[in-house]
Structure 1
Amino acid sequence: MASAGGLPFIPARYYARLGELLSGHGLDGAAVFGQAGMAQETLDDPEGRLTLPQVEALIAEVYRIAPDIPWAFELGRSLKLSSHGMLGYAMLSSPDLDYVFQLLARYFRIIMPTFRLQYRRGDEHDEVLLTVAAGQSPLCLQFHIEAIAVAWHWEILSLLQGNMPTYDLYLSCGTPRHLERYAGLKPARWHFGWPIRPGFRILYPRGLVSRELAMADPGALKLAERQCSELAQQTLKQGRLVEWVTAMLTYSRDVITSREELAALLNIAPRTLDRRLQEEGASFRELSRQIRFQRACDLVRSGQLSMLEIALELGYRDSANFTRAFRREAGCAPSQWLSGQQDAKTR
C-alpha cells in the first residue's frame, strides 16, 4: 500500500507485536509508541497502517532506550504464519513450497511494501532474494532484514513440520553481537556481510520446493488467494502497476497468462489495465514478451527439456515457431545462444 507522496503504508500488526516484546522486557511500550507518533487505536486495529517515517521513528526509539536487546531477532522469532493475515493463510493452504514462494513473490508487498521478494528455480539450487523497494534509514533497514530472515526461517520450517535439510542464508547485515542465538536456528547456515546488495539471499537444495505440505487445502487456498488479489488491487493507487504485473506474469505462468485474467484479478477492464500500464511507460504486450524470452533462456540454459518441450511449455505450437521467436529476440537460434553462454563461462 502507499500513502500520499508515494510513501508506503506498512501493516501495524507487526509493530503491535513489538510492543508486546517491549512489555516483556519491563519497558513501557505505550510510551515508546507515543514518542514515535503512533496512536494506540492504530496498533489495536487488525487493519491498522503506519507510514515509513513512523516505523523509522519507532525503531530508532526502541534502540535508543534498550540498545543491547536484539529486537529484530526477537520480533522475527515471535512471528507465525498467522501473523501475515490472509497471505499467511494462503501459505498454510498451499500444496508445496514452490507454490508458497510463488505466492510470496506475487504478494509480498501486501505485508511489507518496503521490500521486494523474488524467487527463481535453478539447476543446483532454488533461490529466494529479498531486496529493498523503498529507501529507509540504515537502522530501520537492518532491523527489517534481520527480522524478516529470522521469521522466514521459522515459518518455512513450520510448513515442513521441522523436516528441513541444510540450506544457506546470506544476509547483508554484518555479524551481530548476538551471534550465539543463530546457533539455534538449524539447519540453516547463516552467512553475514553479503556484499551484493541490501537484503538477503536464500539457497535451498534442489527438489525441496516440490515437497508436499501437510495442510494443503485447494478450497481454502482459492479463497485466500482471492482475498490477496483484492488487497493487491490497491496497487493501482501506488503508481507501481508494472512491478505487480511483472511479478504475476513471472510467477504465475502456469495460472495467469492473459491481460484479461490479470485485469479480472484487479476487478478492472483490460483496457483500463492497458491505460494504467501506459501511464507508467509500459505495455502488457512488451512485458509479456520480455518475461517469456527470459523464461525461454532459463529453460534452454537448464538443458532439462528438448526444444519441443520448451516450445510447448511456453505456448508455441512446435519447436520451429519457438526457434523463430527466439531468433527474433536473441539474434540467433537457441542452440547458438546456449553455446555462446557456455563459451562465456569458460573464459
Structure 2
Amino acid sequence: MRASVSTAQDLGMPAIYLHLLAELLNTIGVDEQDLLLRVGLDPARLKSTELRVSQTQASEFVTRAIIESGEPGLGIMLARKLKLPLHGALGTAVMSSRTLGDAMELMTRYLTLRVPHLQISKRENANLVWYIVTCDIDLGPLHGFIMDAMLFGCVSMGAQLTGSVVDGLRILRRCPEPAYFQRFRSQIPVPVEFGATDNALVIPVSRLSLPVRFTDDQLAASSRAQCEEALRQLTEDAGFACRVRRVIETSHPFPPKLARVAGTLFISERTLKRRLQEEEASFQQLVDQVRLERAGDLLRNTTMNLSQIADALGYADAANFTRAFKRWTNTSPSHYRNASRTPGSVPAPTDRILTAG
C-alpha cells in the first residue's frame, strides 16, 4: 500500500510553484491572498526560488484552490506558466543541454528536486521512447492536478527548448478523459490519449537529437553539479526537524505557534517536541534560526528600520530584536547592515545561531 501525502516523507514543494498558482487564481477571480493566509502561508515568502513549502500545506492549498475556483483544470492552466528559469538549477541545466534527449535525461534523474515522489522511467524501441511518470505515494484528489501540470508542462518545456512544439510528441494518461478536458483540448498542441496503460510522454527517437537553443556546456556542467548537491542535501534534509523548519519558514503569522505547526503536521505538540529532541533540536531553536536568516536578509536588502524588522520577525519592539540579534551574532543589527553595505567588509554570519536562544 502506498503512503498518503500526510504520512509520506515530506521533501517539500518549491514555494515558487504555489506563488504561480496564486497568481493564476487571481486572474480567475479567486482571492488568493485570503486563501493562502487561511492555509497558514505567507504570500510574500512564496516568491522565493529557494524555499520549499511543506507538502501538507501545499496539498491543502491546491485542494482548496480547485474547490474554491471551481476549476478542475488548474493543472493544465498552471503548466502554461511554467517557464524553465523557474525550475531552479534543474531548469538551468535543462536549458543549457545540447539536445532534447540530454534535457530529458536530466529531468529523469533530478525530477525529485521539483516534484517530490514522482519518478520518470524510460522505455524505448527502434522508433519511440516512452518517459513513464509514476508516483510512490497516494496523492488522492491531487493526482490529476499534479499529472496535468507535469505532463502538459513538459510539452511547453520542449517548445521552449527547441523553438517549436516537438513533432510527433504525444501524451498518455491512465485516467478516463475528464469532462473538463474538452475546454482545453484546442489549447494543447499535441495528441492526448486517455485510458492508456501509463502516464507518459512518447517521443520519436529521431526527435531526441534536436538541438537545444540555449546550449552552454560550461553552464550545463556547473548547473548539473548544483543539481547533484541539491539532491544530496534534499535527501539529508528529510529529517523531522527539516519538516518543522519548512512550516516555520513560510508561515503566516510569523513566528507560528507550536500548536499550529503540530496541527499542520498532523501530530500532537508533545510528539513534535519529542521527535525534535530525538534529533537534538528544539522548536524555539528552529524559530530562531529562521528569524536570524530573515533578519540578515532584511538588513542587507531592504531599507526597513529596526522597528519594522522587529515587527516582521514577531518581536514586541526593536530593543527585543536587537538583543536577540546580538546574542546570535555578537554584533548589532546596525553594525551588520553597515558592514554588509561597505565594499570589502565581511558582515557577521547569519547562517547559524551562535548561542541557542
User: Same fold, TM exceeding 0.5?
Assistant: yes
Looking at structure 2, the residues matched to 16 and 239 of structure 1 have their Cα atoms a distance apart, in angstroms, of 23
* Partner amino acid, structure 2, of 1:144: I
Task: Decide whether aligned partners of structure 1 residues 71 and 209 sit closer, same or farther in structure 2, where only a CA change above 3 A counts.
Answer: same
Other-structure match for 1:155: 157
Whether the 8 Å contact between 2:119 and 2:133 is mirrored in structure 1 is yes
Please state if 1:109 is matched with 2:112: yes
Other-structure match for 1:52: 55
| Pairwise CA RMSD | 2.4
TM-score in terms of structure 2 length: 0.61
What SS is found at the alignment partner of 1:119?
A: strand
Looking at structure 2, the residues matched to 28 and 152 of structure 1 have their Cα atoms a distance apart, in angstroms, of 29
Offset of residue 147 of structure 1: 1.1
* Partner amino acid, structure 1, of 2:41: M
Please state if 1:204 is matched with 2:225: no
Other-structure match for 2:213: 214
Q: Deviations over 1:252-292 (max 9, x none)?
A: xxxxxxxxxxxxxxxxxxxxxxxxxxxxxxxxxxxxxxxxx
TM-score in terms of structure 1 length: 0.62
Looking at structure 1, the residues matched to 167 and 233 of structure 2 have their Cα atoms a distance apart, in angstroms, of 38
Equivalent pairs, count: 234
Offset of residue 65 of structure 1: 1.2
Looking at structure 2, the residues matched to 167 and 6 of structure 1 have their Cα atoms a distance apart, in angstroms, of 33
What SS is found at the alignment partner of 2:184?
A: helix
- Residue correspondence of structure 1 range 192-341 to structure 2 within 5 A: 192-194=194-196, 196=197, 200-237=199-236
Whether the 8 Å contact between 1:42 and 1:49 is mirrored in structure 2 is no
Please state if 1:172 is matched with 2:179: no
Offset of residue 3 of structure 1: 11
Task: Decide whether aligned partners of structure 1 residues 40 and 68 sit closer, same or farther in structure 2, where only a CA change above 3 A counts.
Answer: closer
Whether the 8 Å contact between 1:6 and 1:238 is mirrored in structure 2 is no
Whether the 8 Å contact between 1:168 and 1:202 is mirrored in structure 2 is yes
What SS is found at the alignment partner of 2:119?
A: strand
Higher relative contact order (CA 8 A, sep 6+): 2
Other-structure match for 1:341: none
Looking at structure 1, the residues matched to 10 and 211 of structure 2 have their Cα atoms a distance apart, in angstroms, of 38
Task: Decide whether aligned partners of structure 1 residues 234 and 4 sit closer, same or farther in structure 2, where only a CA change above 3 A counts.
Answer: farther
Task: Decide whether aligned partners of structure 1 residues 38 and 174 sit closer, same or farther in structure 2, where only a CA change above 3 A counts.
Answer: farther
Segments of 5+ residues of structure 2 without an aligned counterpart are 240-357
* Partner amino acid, structure 2, of 1:225: R
Other-structure match for 2:20: 17
Offset of residue 41 of structure 1: 4.2
Offset of residue 39 of structure 1: 2.6
* Partner amino acid, structure 2, of 1:109: T
Q: Deviations over 1:308-347 (max 9, x none)?
A: xxxxxxxxxxxxxxxxxxxxxxxxxxxxxxxxxxxxxxxx
Looking at structure 2, the residues matched to 13 and 226 of structure 1 have their Cα atoms a distance apart, in angstroms, of 22
Offset of residue 163 of structure 1: 5.3
* Partner amino acid, structure 2, of 1:145: M
Other-structure match for 1:141: 143
What SS is found at the alignment partner of 2:138?
A: coil
Whether the 8 Å contact between 1:3 and 1:51 is mirrored in structure 2 is no
* Partner amino acid, structure 2, of 1:165: D
Segments of 5+ residues of structure 1 without an aligned counterpart are 241-347
* Partner amino acid, structure 2, of 1:47: E
Looking at structure 2, the residues matched to 24 and 128 of structure 1 have their Cα atoms a distance apart, in angstroms, of 33
Whether the 8 Å contact between 2:96 and 2:214 is mirrored in structure 1 is yes
Other-structure match for 1:333: none
Q: Deviations over 1:63-102 (max 9, x none)?
A: 2212136211111111111121111111111000111111
Looking at structure 2, the residues matched to 99 and 4 of structure 1 have their Cα atoms a distance apart, in angstroms, of 34
* Partner amino acid, structure 1, of 2:98: P
Task: Decide whether aligned partners of structure 1 residues 163 and 57 sit closer, same or farther in structure 2, where only a CA change above 3 A counts.
Answer: closer
Whether the 8 Å contact between 1:146 and 1:173 is mirrored in structure 2 is no
* Partner amino acid, structure 1, of 2:150: I
Other-structure match for 1:68: 71
Looking at structure 1, the residues matched to 52 and 147 of structure 2 have their Cα atoms a distance apart, in angstroms, of 20
Offset of residue 109 of structure 1: 0.5
